[in-house]
Amino acid sequence: MRSRLAMAGAVLAMLTSGCAHAQSRADAGPGPIAVYGNTTTFEIAPVFVAAESYYPGVATVKMGSVTNLVGEASVPGYGSEGVADVATNAETQALRYSLRNPDMRIIMTVTEGLYRIVAKRSSGINKLADLKGKKIATISVTSSGYFTQKMLKTVGLTSDDVTMVGMRLPDMPKALADGTVDAVAIWEPEVERAAQAIGSDVIEFSGKGVYRELFNLNTIAPNLADPEKRRKIVTFVRAIIDAAAEVREKPARAQELVSEHSKYPLDLVKQSWSHHAFIADWTGDLLDVMEEEEAWLARQDKRTPRTRAQLATLIDTSVLEEAMAMKPLPRRK
């Protein structure tokens, strides 16, 4: 009888210890998370705020991209060493890198980048069709290149009808002002700087209804299959949801963080702010956008485009669903 009681007591002690250990782990929080993205972009603003004020652990945000998820070389000047738990990029780069890394997963859209083309009236440009034969500063292998060809298509033009000029982002405003190019099609704030550089000579063509960048949070399937990593990722997504709500209502701190990280003047950040929608959600048409953009990329690469079903495997909606089921996280600072 005594031996049975002793055994029962031992089992109870083990169970109590196990529960205490599990509770201790829960109380300890989700643990540190490594986040990579282009820290000079405005689209990353909710990520900065989430890391600083909402994630209940240490969240480091470093310059990088989805290359840090999959172990590929970063774009010179826009990367740093390290392995990401999550990374931000436009859908264009997710499509490019997932071709060789099919385990990549898009888990939420953080921000919609509302693109535009600014051009010089003095170059004879009064309507979009007048871009025919002109030089456009853009980066053809990015979302801005895709946006440019989409805009041209609305007036019956193709990329063959213009000259796309690649250059460093900071050089674009000066190139427009001195006549090296006739138009600029790029993300903020360089397009705002370009518009300011030519003053009253500017004419603007909005991409509304044609294309907007889907700036997404990405990870890889093995991270989501690991319970500890998944917990961190789901919690960070919840943090982004809460941070984005703050950014929409009270953008001041987000604007300061963007200015600090990008080194752009705060006034310029504020002037460009309205060209972004900080949604932290799904747009409803991500797969449609990816399918059309995949066909464009496949033509560039001279390969067969992936099917809609293949592209659908790159989107994992479960993480956002779990994050939305969580209670809002308290603001830490």
Name residues whose C-beta falls within 8 Å of residue 227's C-beta, 6 or more positions apart in sequence.
Answer: none
Annotate 274-302 with b (16+ C-beta within 10 A) or e (fewer).
ebbbbbbebeeebbebbbebbebbeeeee
pLDDT tens string 143-177: 999 999 999 999 999 999 999 999 999 999 999 99
| Residue 27 confidence class, pLDDT cut points 50, 70, 90 | low
| Residue 132 confidence class, pLDDT cut points 50, 70, 90 | very high
| Residue 11 confidence class, pLDDT cut points 50, 70, 90 | very low
**Rounded mean pLDDT, 309-316:** 98
pLDDT value for 271: 96
pLDDT at 10 over 60: no
**Rounded mean pLDDT, 55-66:** 97
Which domains can be identified in the chain, with CATH numbers?
A: 33-112+213-325 (3.40.190.10), 116-206 (3.40.190.10)
pLDDT tens string 267-290: 999 999 999 999 999 999 999 999
d(CA 188, CA 299): 27
What is the β-pairing status of strands 183-185 and 135-137?
A: parallel
| Residue 5 confidence class, pLDDT cut points 50, 70, 90 | very low
| Residue 102 confidence class, pLDDT cut points 50, 70, 90 | very high
pLDDT value for 93: 94
pLDDT tens string 70-85: 999 888 877 788 999 9
The overall pTM is greater than 0.95: no
